[in-house]
Every structure is written in C-alpha cells, then in structure tokens.
Chains A and B, each alone.
Chain A
Amino acid sequence: MSRTEEAFNALTADLSGRPLGRIIRGSLLEGIEARLDDDVTVEDVRVGRFVVVDGARNRFFSAVHNVKLANTNEDVLLRPPDDGFVQEVLRGTNTYATIDLRPKLLIAHGEDGVRPVKTIPPHFATVREASDADVATVFGAEGPTSLPIGKPLEMSSDVCINLERFVERSNAVFGKTGTGKSFLTRMLLAGIIKADLASVLVFDMHNEYGMWSEDEETKRKAPALKEIFGQKVLIFSVDPASSRRRSVTPDYEVQIALSDIEVDDLVLLRSELNLADAQVRDMETLAERWGTKSWLQRLLQAQADGSLDDEVESIPGVHAQSVKALARNLQKVARKEFVKESVTDHSADRMLKALLERRHVVIEFGGKTDFLSYMLVSSIVTRRIHERWREEKEKASADGRLGHPPQLVITLEEAHKFLSPEAAHQTIFGTIAREMRKYNVTLLVVDQRPSGIDAEIASQLGTRVIGALDDERDQSSVLEGVPDARALRVLLNNLEPKKQVLLGGYALPMPIVVEVRDYYDFAKATRRAAGERKRDVDLWER
C-alpha cells in the first residue's frame, strides 16, 4: 500500500468507528489502559474523545482521559534515534502509545438500555472511536424533553440533556469570562420553556436574557428569551430608562416598597452596606419591636425628622449611635430609584402570579449593575417565591385535589455573591439550593468564580455545564462532589474556550466533552417551533 493509499484509508476510516487499539491492563477503580495500534498516530487521539470498548458480552463507553508514551526498553531512551526510518520501525515495538479510559456505562450485546459499569472489558478487547450510533445510544435523540446541546469532539451526532431530570435539581453553568456562559444558559432556559417543564425566572444582571444580547466578539445581536417566545416571557425592568435606550419595552417596571425589605435581605448585603455584626443584631431587634413590614420605614423616617434618639431610647440593648450609623448605611438602599415608600403595584406579586401561571420572568437590571440593586431585588423576590411555593406545595400535599405549584428554575448570575460560604447559611439562596427541590424550586447557578461558592452547595449541584476555567481553585471546586474528579479535571484542562464544554451530572448518562451547537441556528429553530412571528428577522436571521 502506498503512502497516499494509507492516507486515504486513514481519512475514510475517520468517518466510521475506526479501531484505535486494544486493552492491555486496568482496574475498575483506576480505569483501564489501551495500547494504541501502530497505525494510529498518537497526535490524532485527543483527550475527551468519546470511544467504545467491545468486550465479549458488553460494549463499554468512555472518554479518552489521557494519552501517554511508553517504551519496552530503557536503552532506546538513552540514545533516541534521530532517523525517520528507525523511529518508524521502533514505533510499535520499542516505543508505543497508550490511552487511559474510564468506562462509565455499558450496554450488553443484544440489549437496549445502558447501565453503569460494574466490570471492565477483558484483555485485548478492541477500542474503537465511537460511531454516531453509539452517541445516540448513550445520549439519546432529540425529543420533546431532551435538548441537543452539542456534539462530542469530531462527531456529528447530538448529545442531549434530559431536561426532565435537569429541572429536578439545582444546576450550574460555569466558565471564565468569554466562554459563552450566557449563550449556553439561554439555550438551556429556552429548552426548558419550549418543553414546558418549568417556569423560568432570570435575574438578568447584564441584560442578556430578555430581548437581545450582543456577542462580545462578533458584535452580532443574539435573540434572547422574549424574542424567541414572545408573550410567554415577561420582562421586568429595574431601570426602565436603560431598557428604553436599548429599544426594549419592558412589560413592567420593578418597584420595591420599603415594607417589602426584610432583615434577611439586608443581611445578604452586609458587605455592600458595611454592616457590622452589632448592626445586624440591631436590625433584628427593631424588626421584632416595630414589625417586619414597617421597621425600615420607621427607622428612616425617625432618622429624617431627628426623632431617632427618642424612638430607640426605650429599647434595651440598642445604642442610639449604632442605630444612627445603621440608618445612614440603609439610606443607600432607600435612595435606589426602584425602592419606593409605598407602591401600588407590587412587582413581586406580579412575578409570582406569572410564574404560577407557567409564564416566565426576566428581571433586567439595565444600567443598575451594582451588586446592591441586583442582590436586593433578587433576595426579595426569591424570598417571596420561597414562602409561596412552600405554602402551595404544603397545601397540595394536604389536599390531593389542589395542583402542585409548577416547577420553577431560578437563574442566578454572579452566584458566588449569594452562595458564598458566609452567605449560603444565612440567605434564602442557600436554603433553596439545599432543600427547595422538595418544593419544586431549583437554581440555575451561572458563575465565573465557582470557587467562591459554598462547598456543600457546590457538591449538591445536579448537572454541571463547565466551560474553560483557568484558576486552579475554580477547576477543583466545579468538580466538588463529582466521582472521578481527578480524571475529569484532565478533560477540563483541555477545553477550548468558547467552543467546548464539559457536561456531566444528573441529566446526562455520563460526563462528556461537547462542541456546543450554534446558538443562532438553535434560536431560529426554537422560535419557529414556538410559533413566534418573525419581527426583526433581518437583524439576526442571516
């Protein structure tokens, strides 16, 4: 066979499940090792590649976790041959390459369903590149409740996320800036909305989920949820002026009454408001005395008309000076435009109503990209949801005739602010991440600094979508509580930013690296399926 023929054969073999090598050693605990066939160039085998191993009774599915060089004789390393011919001769005899595999699933020959592995393939079992049929067997085909999110490396078959399982638990999208987190998150949310599996609430700090978002690199406008789903999605704006500047017509303006703000909301903002421990205790005392609904208003009023000293004089354990400082700090909250003395239209109530009716809410923060506004609104709304869903669920459990509240997915950007080890135990978000699954509420955590998230909460995340991460701590914390974290870390280290993500967890049969599908195609198809009329077609459907 001439070299051209060889090259041609190698090329055509790439289209099917070409054999890569044979199993030579391994264990269930440590993973298995295969020796590459001599005609397979080590440089062609990429970490993350999806492969199958054909045992006598089962077909095993795995990703390539490592590629290694090996030699049979130490002498060859002392004097490495510099001649191309000699190198070629020694390849496969004195020198060879191996790959590390960790089979996760198997399918018995002649059966349908995949199962977790409890054994390993025998010696010399053939390792092949997985075919598209293999991918379809493991990761399912597109269906009403399964979302194709991308394709395994160098393959053309879809990897689907099981959305029914996805919405059942809190999940996360991680990745450093510019890895396409918001595109992925939008895709997941659109999938959920399309499948009608849950109501979706998005705290949209950077205005990326309502109408449009802009691709930072290409400056191309990407359609967001409202643009895709129309009236099923409501936009609430914290900063209507900014919305108008971006030609977005919000459905509602967010208005928060002072009476809506509770001590817990402010505790979350401790660092933003510079609150000392003593001041937190003061707030709790005042709330107890003056009522949880009216303490803040009364405090600010007293501060304004100079009657604060008299007001707090009679309260034991509270010092006037400390309370004055507290009131000054809390002015920062009261001065926010969306915080009103009293409101006629309670935004939180509207949102809850919409969400209970299985509609979807995006809260845009417009130009208000300060954490104070973002966290305050998020906390107040989420706390209300927590109360309401819990109530509805308990009612439904007590009375079988009543329906359960709909599944709700709360999308939280910059999640480490809410779920830091300090905040996680005090705030409503920690509670939701830990236990609200029982009440049909889950979080979709979107963050670029996963190491800032409380370890216990991180370990409870159901499904993770992980883009490239540079920081060591971030890399180890995204895999917190995941079996085989060390092996997955290798895959994580080799992700191509913006293109590839590592998927794993509850909604997927096994962890896998995929090339993410094109968002514009996805949005176009989803909108067509949702029956939304084309409006700004020429803006993005090119």
Chain B
Amino acid sequence: MNRLGEIVEASTTRLRAVAPQTFEGPAFGSFVKTSDGSRTTYGVVAHVEHVSIDPSRRAIPLGRTWEELRREQPQVLELLTTEFEACCVAFAEQDGALCAYLPPVPPRVHDFVEACTPAEIVDLTEDLSFIRTLGATGIPIVTELIAAAIRSAAGHHHDQRVYLVRAGREVADLFRQDYELASSIIRRIRVSDGQKARR
C-alpha cells in the first residue's frame, strides 16, 4: 500500500492530509483516494505545501545545502512537514459503482490517503465529469488544476490524443462563455500532432 498521507481535516468538498515523509507529497493534479472501510472517496490533489510543523514558527534561512543540513542539523527535517489538499470529485460505496459526484459525508480524519490505481483513474475520468466538479470548486488556480488533472488522467487512457480532445471539448463546453479561460486550459493540455500517443 502506497500511503500518501493521513487526513487531518476533511469536508464534503475537500480534505487536507499530512504526508508521512517530508517532501514526499503527491503530485499536483494527481488522483488520490481514501477509504473509511465502507466508502471510498476520490479526489484530485489541488494544493501541496511544505510548512513548519508549528504554525507559529516559520522556518528561517540557514545558509546550508541539504547535504550539510542532514549532516549537521538533522532535526531541521523533523521541524518541517508536507501537507496537501485534495478536492473531492467522486466516491464509491463498498462493492458499489463509482458515483461521479461529491460524497454524502466527508472522509474521516485520520484515514489514510493513497494514490489511485491506473484502472481506477480510467474509471474515474472516463466520463469527464470531474472537470465540471473541479470547475465548480472556485479555487483561484482552477485553470492549472483542471489542466493538471486532465494531463495526469490522459496518460492512463488507451489513446491519449483522443482522450485529450474529448477532455478539451468538455472544457470548451464548460467555459463556453469565457473563451479566454477555456483556451488557456486547452493550451495547457495540448499535444503536438507529431507527438506519439502513449499507450
């Protein structure tokens, strides 16, 4: 089991988790899941940060490389933590089908967060509704988030280019009224025609 973190805050739309190892958080835009034993909630990583474990004490510049720090002041690493946030996009009841909308209750605090398997990512992203859910989160960097999520999903689909075109159309459709916004996302997911589709 590849444990990415432990939940420290959760709502029906978002969860916040702490990574077990500092600097080893999940990638922005990657798909994660957490299970409370009966329900699995799926999310997209929307924010990753490295912060001091004590919110009242910021890290200060030390003027050394990490190599020197590890040798001379190994406790520094212990004072830092890696945290991430994920936006909930879907859930599945035990033995049930995947529901591509928000879960009825938030995931539990202290449950573990794991990376989704490639098969789960394909299931989760096949119908593209995650794009609309992410679009509705209202977070400031929504264009980057949607583009990153689409890119991370596309690699798992049979024909990457076909998938990107479909996803791009969903984006164009979602932001019909705002061509600038739509095209900025589309430009972030484009493949050049010469690029070989990944299988």
Residues of A within 8 A of B (CB): 1-2, 38, 72-73, 75-76, 81, 83-86, 88-90, 92-94
Contact = CB atoms under 8 A, between A and B. Distances in A.
A90 B175 CA distance: 12
A71 to B, nearest CB: 10
Contacts of B177: 73
A76 B168 contact: no
A86 B191 CA distance: 9
B70 interface: no
A1 B190 contact: no
B193 interface: yes
Contacts of B58: none
A94 B178 CA distance: 11
B172 A90 contact: yes
A211 B164 CA distance: 66
Contact of A85 (B159, B173, B180, B191): B191
B110 interface: no
Contact of A92 (B169, B179, B192): B169
Contacts of B169: 38, 89, 92-93
A256 B187 CA distance: 84
Chain A to chain B: the 4 pairs with minimum beta-carbon distance, closest first: A89-B168, A93-B172, A75-B179, A85-B190
A94 B165 contact: no
A86 B164 CA distance: 10
A321 B180 CA distance: 89
Nearest to A92: B169
Contact of A86 (B161, B162, B190): B190
Given A76-B179, A83-B190, A86-B183, 4 more contacts: A85-B186, A86-B190, A89-B169, A90-B172
17 contacts: A1-B162, A72-B176, A73-B176, A73-B177, A75-B180, A81-B183, A84-B193, A85-B161, A85-B193, A86-B183, A89-B165, A89-B171, A89-B186, A93-B169, A93-B173, A93-B176, A94-B176
A380 B162 CA distance: 74
B173 A86 contact: no
B13 to A, nearest CB: 27
Interface of B: 159, 161-162, 164-165, 168-169, 171-173, 176-177, 179-180, 182-183, 186-187, 190-193
A81 B191 CA distance: 14
Contacts of B191: 85
A76 B180 CA distance: 9
A84 B180 CA distance: 18
Nearest to B193: A84
A390 to B, nearest CB: 71
B172 A85 contact: no
Contacts of B186: 85-86, 89-90
Nearest to B166: A89
A90 B169 CA distance: 6
Nearest to A84: B193
A75 B177 CA distance: 9
A75 B179 CA distance: 6
A86 B186 CA distance: 7
A89 B172 contact: yes
**Max chain B C-beta neighbours (<10 A), residue from A81, A84, A89, A93:** A89
B179 A85 contact: no
Nearest to A85: B190
Contact of B164 (A73, A85, A92): A85
Contacts of A72: 176
A86 B193 CA distance: 11
Nearest to B164: A85
A82 to B, nearest CB: 11
A1 B172 contact: no
**Max chain B C-beta neighbours (<10 A), residue from A2, A76, A81, A86:** A86
Contacts of B162: 1
Contacts of A75: 179-180
A439 B190 CA distance: 74
Contact of B179 (A1, A73, A83): A73
A304 B110 CA distance: 130
Contacts of B193: 84-85
A131 B57 CA distance: 77
Contacts of B180: 75
A90 B164 CA distance: 12
Contacts of A92: 169
Nearest to A72: B176
A2 B159 contact: yes
A88 B191 CA distance: 11
Contacts of A81: 183
Contacts of B164: 85, 89
Contacts of B187: 83, 86
Contacts of A89: 164-165, 168-169, 171-172, 186
Contacts of A88: 165, 168
A88 B179 CA distance: 15
Contacts of A73: 176-177, 179
A76 B183 CA distance: 9
Contacts of A1: 159, 162
A73 B181 CA distance: 13
A90 B159 CA distance: 19
A86 B180 CA distance: 13
A81 B187 CA distance: 10
**Max chain A C-beta neighbours (<10 A), residue from B165, B177, B191:** B165
B160 to A, nearest CB: 11
